Structure 1
């Protein structure tokens, strides 16, 4: 009788163990941390001009560049100056279009959302020319490889024929021409070639103002 009672108690214990709800473990990595709020203060403000003090400007040049570009892209701003050493940004805007309080709220929103903005690379004449020359050089290399493979199949060995000499010489000329043109062309963001103004997008940026 004692053995039967023990076996029954063991079975009931196993059944209770299976009936217990399983605990779900949630890793810390799965928890999405809220975005870090960027600290700021208004150092000076008059109609049409406001200066913010933002400590992050001192340590994060990428953020400073993004913030400057996104504010400059606003049609209501006329001038933006960033002084990273002083952790300040001065913004001049057109007064009268919206109220100063609305403009201040809009700029504060941009300050907070600037880290999430993807700034497209502005193509310059130098970068476009570089891409074109690189494409030509890659085409020459591909043609040379095809010619080498054909020679290996036909002659069963590597053979420097007229095509190989021609393509090799053309590649040398193209590379020298590229170096000369890239040296002459300016390397400024303002030297854009027929590009439409880029549009910055970020979650939470108020476009309705």
Structure 2
């Protein structure tokens, strides 16, 4: 074989190898990694209560908190208790609204999808009252600044007039009232109870309940 033929042969081999490598890389890139399934087991179950053992609760605090929030937000559940040390979660639910099988299926769905569900932030009484007090204090500060600027322009100096005394006294009273109110108010979370679809949950089929069962 002449040197020219050898060169042509090498030129044909290199692109073929390159195409093969690119095809393999493309094939690997196109493969999507399946979502990791969260392992669980039912440790105990009676009508109205079920306890799951979930190993991830003991090693993933973010998942534990999110699963707790998701279940607390669910209007079909009455009580949720998470024990990360024991890697378990206990859920109480009312009897008679749906079957135990449906409830178990629903809870398993929550366990698996909790990392992907966005839970609305709970609102507390303290946060609402604190926001109102802060807005009033901000309004008083703005009014004081305007009054001080007016006095500086008019008298060419800082002058503590009646308005300044009233606003300053009112601000101090409101700050003390805020501190006392925030100390007294409970830190209870207010959450809007909405349909399961609002938090990415699948709706369940409810069984008919007679008037005598309500």
Residue ranges of structure 1 left out of the alignment (5+ in a row): 1-22
Question: Which moved further from structure 2: 57-66 or 145-154?
Answer: 57-66
Contact 2:66 2:114 in 1 (8 A): yes
- The 2-side partners of 1:74 and 1:166 are apart by 49
Distance 1:149 1:104, change over 3 A: same
Alignment match, 2:199: 202
Distance 1:134 1:199, change over 3 A: farther
Contact 2:124 2:188 in 1 (8 A): no
Alignment match, 1:120: 121
SS at match of 2:71: helix
- The 2-side partners of 1:71 and 1:161 are apart by 57
SS at match of 1:150: helix
Q: How does 1:1-209 map to 2 (within 5 A)?
A: 36-94=36-94, 97-115=97-115, 116-124=117-125, 126-189=126-189, 197=193, 201-203=198-200, 205-209=201-205
TM-score, normalised by the number of residues in structure 2: 0.65
SS at match of 1:120: coil
Alignment match, 1:6: none
- The 2-side partners of 1:199 and 1:66 are apart by 18
Contact 1:113 1:202 in 2 (8 A): no
Residue ranges of structure 2 left out of the alignment (5+ in a row): 1-21, 206-214
SS at match of 2:42: strand
Choose between structure 1 and 2: higher helix proportion.
2
Distance 1:202 1:129, change over 3 A: closer
Tell me by how many angstroms 1:160 deviates: 2.6
Contact 1:114 1:202 in 2 (8 A): no
Contact 1:76 1:94 in 2 (8 A): yes
For this pair of structures, how many residues does the alignment match? 175
Question: Which moved further from structure 2: 71-80 or 84-93?
Answer: 71-80
TM-score, normalised by the number of residues in structure 1: 0.66
Tell me by how many angstroms 1:78 deviates: 4.1
Tell me by how many angstroms 1:140 deviates: 0.3
Tell me by how many angstroms 1:110 deviates: 0.7
Tell me by how many angstroms 1:119 deviates: 3.0
SS at match of 1:85: helix
RMSD: 3.2
- The 2-side partners of 1:175 and 1:154 are apart by 30
Distance 1:105 1:145, change over 3 A: same
